[in-house]
Amino acid sequence: MTEIKDEFKDGFKDLGLHASILKALTEEGYESPTPIQAKSIPPMMAGRDVVGIAQTGTGKTAAFVLPLLNKMANNPSRPTSKCCKALILAPTRELAAQIVESVRSYGVNMRHSVTLIVGGAKMGPQIRAMERGVDILVATPGRLEDHMQQGYVNLSQTSAIVLDEADQMMDLGFMPAMRRIMTKMPKKRQTMLLSATMPKQIRSLANDFLHNPAEISVAPQSRPIERIDQKVYLVDKHGKRDLLKDLLSASNVERAIVFTRTKHGANKVTLNLGKAGLSAAAIHGNKSQRQREKTLAGFRAGEITILVATDIAARGIDVDGVSHVVNYELPNIPEAYVHRIGRTARAGKSGIALSLCDGSELKFLRDIERLTKCTIAREDLCDGEMVELPPPGQKANKPRKKVAVARIQLEGELQKLTKGRKRGGRGKPNGNASANGNASADGESAGNQRNGKPGGNRKPGGKSYGRGNGRPGGNSGKPGQGQKRRFGGKPGGKPNGNSGGNSGGRNRPRAA
């Protein structure tokens, strides 16, 4: 929030915003526009289409809300029944609700109406709100389409649309809905597309639906915010639980968000943190809207210190003072890492992002580092013995038939050669000698072969943190007992085979 263009040294005044908005911004304590605001507000106010590449936490909500409000402040007119003058689409209910709050705050001195249409809430009040018509409608695509199909919402008079976090909407399967929605709008309209990343499909969406857009990028694409202190712990899967407890028990953890890949994982982590006496609550797509709102409010108010979330539920959540983001599991989509860690270091603050990476997530780690073009500092809790395993849900490469046949032939030759020589000599090659030691394992059973060495060798002294060589019964010595704490070794942990995110399995995508 510090990089401000010289021409906006007089703050928002230089942007030509309406006095009622300037007053609200002063009340909010905003002194000058953030870079995305400084760059995108002028073309938006001039009525141009805009493609904005900006990470969360850069002030992009105000970047598109202020021009919309400004237009309404300058041309106040009553909206037509069932119509909205401007539509803002967001991927999740939480983000949509937050945008509504921002519209209310920045427009506190104006007389405009704003309505929220999201899934998980009753249709009735939404229908009634639309009956009167609304200035700004903030919606998630799935529920909006329900309303449109039933004739409760009409976009024929909508002259501006914002697609916020467009890449996340695409990840959630909303691309067809976004396209359908835009075809229901007047051709002559203003379109603003904001995205943290610019994958191909978003680029083609922009090409198909935006007219000569001003392209604005405020941070190198997909690079995590520089102020975030990132670190990755290489740890056995079964050591993650203890490690997480230790990390979150540290005194500098003011407010933390822990990310898991699955809803089930989020519940499990929450339960374990609770057992350890930490104040944690989960937020994910299986929780009711009321539960989600309650949890979020508790987290905001500081009653809950740790929010355990899946990617989708946490998207766009803007809570001040998140000191730590912990990736309990690394995301399989590298862009998600950027979004996750963007929950900290908001509004000019710094933050800490810690990731727990087991052997099956090394590929994800490499993907993240490739995308972000930076190497994340590592702490190896496996003493250099971590073995790469197939990513969750993926099967290990089975040895190809050809290879297997060749091996059998070789064994036969060896046996022939050794026949008659001294007994007890070198017999057949070790059956485990296939590359990585996991050749015959599928993604879920490979954990028994962690060490991947022929014969499953383990380092004496039990310092590798593979399953089965850790503490007996799953309890390692506590730190301070003269023994390095092990983050591994609990046998029998249930493999997590569900890597498929939260949106699968439905015919039609919904906001999580």
Q: Map tokens 């689409």 to a residue.
A: 89
Q: For residues 39-68, which are near ligand AMP according to CB under 6 A?
A: 56-62
Q: Shortest distance, CB of residue 248 to ligand AMP, whole angstroms?
A: 24
Interface region with ligand AMP, contact rule CB under 6 A, candidates 33-41, 129-137, 218-226, 307-315: 33-41
Q: In whole angstroms, how close is the CB of 307 to ligand AMP at the nearest point?
A: 16
Contact 83, 135 (CB under 8 A): no
Buried b (16+ CB within 10 A) or exposed e, 460-484: eebbbbbbbbbbeeeebeeeeeeee
Contact 210, 160 (CB under 8 A): no
> What is the smallest separation between the CB atom of 2 and ligand AMP, expressed in angstroms?
10
Site string for ligand AMP, 313-332 (x = CB under 6 A): -----x--------------
CB of 308 to ligand AMP, least distance (A): 21
Nearer Cβ to ligand AMP, position 34 or 344?
34
Based on the shown chain and the rule CB under 6 A, indicate whether residue 121 belongs to the binding site for ligand AMP. Answer: no
What's the half-sphere exposure (Cβ side, CA atoms, 13 Å) at 226? Answer: 4
Alpha carbons 312 and 91: distance in angstroms, whole number: 8
Both tokens of 192, joined, read: 């603003």
Count residues binding ligand AMP (CB under 6 A): 15
Q: How far is the CB of 347 from ligand AMP (least distance, A)?
A: 4
**Binding window for ligand AMP (CB under 6 A); candidates: 29-37, 70-78, 432-440, 470-478:** 29-37
Complete edge-to-edge strand list for the sheet that includes strand 256-260: 280-283, 306-310, 256-260, 324-327, 351-357, 228-234, 377-380
Q: Which is nearer to ligand AMP, 319 or 381 (CB)?
A: 319
Written in H, E and C, the secondary structure of 295-342 is HHHHHHHCCCCEEEEEHHHHCCCCCCCCCEEEECCCCCCHHHHHHHHC
Region of 27-35, 289-297, 408-416, 448-456 interacting with ligand AMP (CB under 6 A): 27-35
Structure tokens at 301: 């108010």
Phi, psi of 161 (to 5 degrees): -130, 140
Among 18, 22, 33, 337, binds ligand AMP (CB under 6 A): 33
The contact mask relative to ligand AMP for 342-381 (x = CB under 6 A, - = no) is ----xx----------------------------------
Near ligand AMP by CB under 6 A: residue from 1, 45, 129, 362: 1
Q: What is the C-alpha to C-alpha distance for residues 183 and 157, in angstroms, rounded to an integer?
A: 13
Contact criterion met (CB below 8 Å) for 259 and 331: yes
Closest distance to ligand AMP from the beta carbon of 324 (Å): 18
Site for ligand AMP in 387-446 (CB under 6 A): none
State yes or no: residue 94 binds ligand AMP (CB under 6 A).
no
Single-letter amino acid code for the residue at 336: A
Nearer to ligand AMP, 36 or 306 (CB): 36
Nearer Cβ to ligand AMP (61/305)? 61
Which amino acid, one-letter code, is at 38?
A
> Between 103 and 202, whose beta carbon lies closer to ligand AMP?
103
Positive or negative, the CA dihedral 43, 47, 51, 53 is: positive
List, in sequence order, the alpha helices (H) in 383-504: 401-418
Do 66 and 76 form a contact (C-beta atoms < 8 A)? no
The string of DSSP codes covering 354-375 is EEEE-GGGHHHHHHHHHHHTSP
Q: How far is the CB of 167 from ligand AMP (least distance, A)?
A: 15
C-beta of 23 vs 264, nearer to ligand AMP:
23
Could you tell me the smallest distance in angstroms from the CB atom of residue 389 to ligand AMP?
A: 37
Task: Report, in Å, the least distance between residue 60 CB and ligand AMP.
Answer: 5
CB of 59 to ligand AMP, least distance (A): 3
Q: Least distance in Å: CB of 4 to ligand AMP? A: 9
Q: Whose CA is closest to 285, among 123, 173, 183?
A: 173
Asked if residue 168 binds ligand AMP (CB under 6 A), the reply is no
Q: What six digits make up the tokens of 107? A: 């427009």
* C-alpha–C-alpha distance, residues 366 and 92, integer Å: 28
Cβ proximity to ligand AMP, 22 vs 256, nearer residue: 22
Q: With CB under 6 A as the contact rule, which of the stretches 32-40, 130-138, 153-161, 353-361 interacts with ligand AMP?
A: 32-40
Cβ–Cβ under 8 Å, residues 117 and 153 = yes
Whether the CB-CB separation of 491 and 440 falls below 8 Å is answered with no
Do 354 and 130 form a contact (C-beta atoms < 8 A)? Answer: no
Q: Which is nearer to ligand AMP, 345 or 357 (CB)?
A: 345
35 touches ligand AMP by CB under 6 A: no
**CA–CA distances in Å: residue 52 to residues 184, 259, 408:** 23, 26, 59
Q: Which is nearer to ligand AMP, 58 or 476 (CB)?
A: 58
Sign of CA pseudo-dihedral 444, 447, 453, 454: negative
CB of 98 to ligand AMP, least distance (A): 7
Q: Which is nearer to ligand AMP, 261 or 346 (CB)?
A: 346
Candidates 272, 245, 366, 318; CA nearest to 95 is: 318
Interface residues with ligand AMP (CB under 6 A) are: 1, 30, 33-34, 37, 56-62, 318, 346-347
